[in-house]
Amino acid sequence: MNTLKKIQLILFGILATLSLQAQSPWSIEQKEAQQTMEHFFNALSNRDSISLKNYSIADISLYEYGQVWNIDTLILKAITLNQSADFKRTNSFEFLQTTVDKTTAWVTYRLQSAIFKDGKQTTLQWLETVALVRERKQWKVKHLHSTLIKRS
């Protein structure tokens, strides 16, 4: 085998290895469920109650700070009472586990939110598990359980 062929073979092997490493460990269905959570929190960050409701079922339950909330409680606490003109929230996710069945999905993730409000920045970290249901070919949040890990 000549030198050029050897180099091409080695380059092909390296590219194939890099390509395999770059692939996501998540299936398309798992990514769709995860993206629903990203959209849900983007709506929260944008103080967009209409989109927030769009990514939730009508009788959503949220388990926050030892309390049980519904969509109206979430909108009141996160949007209505949050009228700070300089409000900005940026979310980042580390998805730990995602299980998808035909009409149900369970997603566990770490969520970190940097919140700028009233001239101050706070960073919060949660561990959350959410149950989603499929309605009209779209994943929607049914239950969300949140545990605050750190506030700084």
27-151 carries CATH number 2.102.10.10: no
Distance, in Å, from the CA atom of 134 to the CA atom of 72, rounded to the nearest integer, reads 22
C-beta separation of 106 from 129 below 8 A: yes
In tens, the pLDDT along 21-76 reads 555 689 999 999 999 999 999 999 999 999 999 999 999 999 998 999 999 999 99
Contacts by 93-101 with C-beta closer than 8 Å and gap 24+? Answer: 93/34, 93/37, 93/38, 95/26, 95/34, 98/26, 98/30, 98/33, 98/34, 99/30, 100/27, 100/29, 100/30, 100/33
Q: What is the pLDDT of residues 82-106, one digit of tens each?
A: 888 999 999 999 999 999 999 999 9
pTM, whole model, 2 decimals?
A: 0.82
d(CA 87, CA 44): 11
Whole-angstrom Cα distance, residue 141 to residue 36? 8
**DSSP structure class, residue 102:** S
